[in-house]
Amino acid sequence: MTKQEQLPTLVTHVELMIEARWVVPVDSSNNLHEFYTVVIHHQVIVDVLPTAQARIRYTATESVVLDDHVLIPGLINAHTHAAMTLMRGIADDQPLMIWLNNHIWPAERAIVTERYVEDASLLASAEMLSGGTTCFNDMYFYPQATAAAASKAGIRAHLGLTVLEFPTNYAADADDYLQKGFEAHDSWRSNPLISSSLAPHAPYTISNQTFEKVLTYAEQLGLGIHTHLHETRDEISQSEASYGVRPIQRVADIGLLGPGFIAAHGVHLMPHEIDMLAEYGCHVAHCPASNLKLGSGIAPISALLKNNVNVCIGTDGAASNNRLDMFSEMRLAALLSKGVTEDASVLPAHQALKMVTINAARAIGLENKVGSIEIGKQADLVAVKLSDFSISPCYDPVSHLVYSCGREHVTHTWVAGELRYSHGTYANIEPVELKEIIQTWQPKLRQYKH
C-alpha cells in the first residue's frame, strides 16, 4: 500500500444524494449503471459513482434510496402548446385545417387571455411533471403568462415568442407580436428556468418580409427559430401555388435554416430536403401522436436519422394529441419507425430515449445544461419504478423505459435538484387549484366542441 492510499478519505458534505438500482446517464456509450448514486449540490450534479463509493466519499443533507427504480435525465417535450391543454378533446377526429379554422381559432378568439394562458399552462405543467417531463419547448400567445405558470410549478420552459400576421387577442400584427415577444424575453432574463426562441407560427401564416425580420432579430439576440414545417400536404400545395416552391425551400432561400432552426413535424420531406436539413444542421421535432390523430401522415424518421439530422420528440398541444405524455410518444415513435421501414432494428430503445433527452436539449440549445446525467449539468432527473407487477420482469431497463413503462410509473421528478413531484404530490401546486381551473374554463370552451 502506498502512502497516498494510506491517507484518510476526505468526506464531502452535499445537499442531496440519490441512490438508484440503475442509472441511465444517456451518454455516447449508451451506458447503464447498476447500484449507482447521483450526487447533487447547489442544483448541479457533482458526481456519478457506485453507491458503495458514494457512501464513503459523501454525506448528504438528504438521501433518497430508490431500490426498484431507474434514474434518467428529465424528459424534454420538444414541441408543444401548453396553454391548449384546456382545449383537450375539442373537435376531435377532424383534419388539421378544418380543426384550426372551424374550431380552435374561433375558440382562441373568444377565450384566450393572459389569465387563461397562465391557468392552462399550470395545468399542463402539472401533467408534464407527473409524467417525468422537466422541460418543454412551447409556442403560444402571452408567453409571460406561460413563464409565470412554469415558474410556479418549478418546471423548465423554453418559450417561443410567437409571431403571426393576423390579429388575435394577444397582438395586432407581426410587428406587435415581435415587440410583445421581446418584452417578454427581457422580463425573464434573470430566471434560470426560462429561455427563449423566436417562433413564427408556420410558412402558411408568415410573409417573407416577416420571416426576414425574424431572421435578423434571431441573429442579433442569439435566439433559435421554432416553426411548424411540412406538417401536411395541403400546406405544401399552398406554398407551391403561392410562392412556386415548397415551404422548406422558401425558408431556406430567406436564410432561416441553420443549427438554431427547429422544424416541428417535418412529416412530408423529400430526400433532397432531408439532405438540406442535415447540411444546415437543423433539428426536427417529431410529433407522432398528433400527426396520426390529425391524419397528417408519418414523418420519415429513419431517413432523417440515417442522414444525421438531430431528431427530438414533442407531444404538440393536448388539443391535438390528447396527452402531454412523453413515454407514449417515445414508444409510438419507435414502433412507427419499425413498422414503416419493416425493420425491427430501426430506432432502438436507447435512441428513442436520446430523442426525448439529449437530442431535445441540443435542439433548444441547452445541451450543456440538461439532457444527460453528467457532472456539471443541472440536476433535472426522473425516477421510474420498474418493480410493478404490470411491467415485470425487467431484463433491460432501457428497453423497459421505451416499450413497457408509462408515465404512471414515474415516482419522482427533480428540476435543478429540487423535488417538484413525488407520488402524486406536487411541491408548488395544489390539486384543488387545478380542479378550480378546469371548472372555470370548461363551461366556456364546451360550445366549441362541435
Q: Which residues are annotated as a binding site for Zn(2+)?
A: 79, 81, 228, 316
Cα dihedral sign, 257-259-265-266:
positive
Entry field: residues in the chain: 450
DSSP labels, 111-164: H--HHHHHHHHHHHHHHHHHTTEEEEEEEES-HHHHHHHHHHHT-EEEEEEEE-
For 12-48, b where at least 16 C-beta lie within 10 A, e where not — what string?
eebbbbbbbbbbbbbeeeeeebeebbbbbbebbbbbb
Q: What sections of 38-95 are H helices per DSSP?
A: 51-57
Alpha-carbon span 51 to 382, nearest angstrom: 18
Q: Are 338 and 346 in contact (CB under 8 A)?
A: yes
Alpha-carbon span 142 to 438, nearest angstrom: 19
Residue ranges of the binding site:
79, 81, 108, 201, 228, 231, 316
Q: In terms of Cα–Cα distance, which of 421, 388, 359, 311 is closest to 68?
A: 388
C-alpha cell at 246: 415548397
Residues 195, 197, 199, 200, Cα dihedral to 10°: 150
Residue ranges of the binding site for substrate:
108, 201, 231, 316
Q: What sections of 281-342 are H helices per DSSP?
A: 288-293, 301-306, 326-341
Q: What angle do CA 223, 227, 232 make, to 5 degrees?
A: 165
Amino acid (1-letter code) at residue 82: A
Residue showing cell 438521501: 63
Give me the helix-helix angle, 114-130 and 143-153, nearest 10°. 40
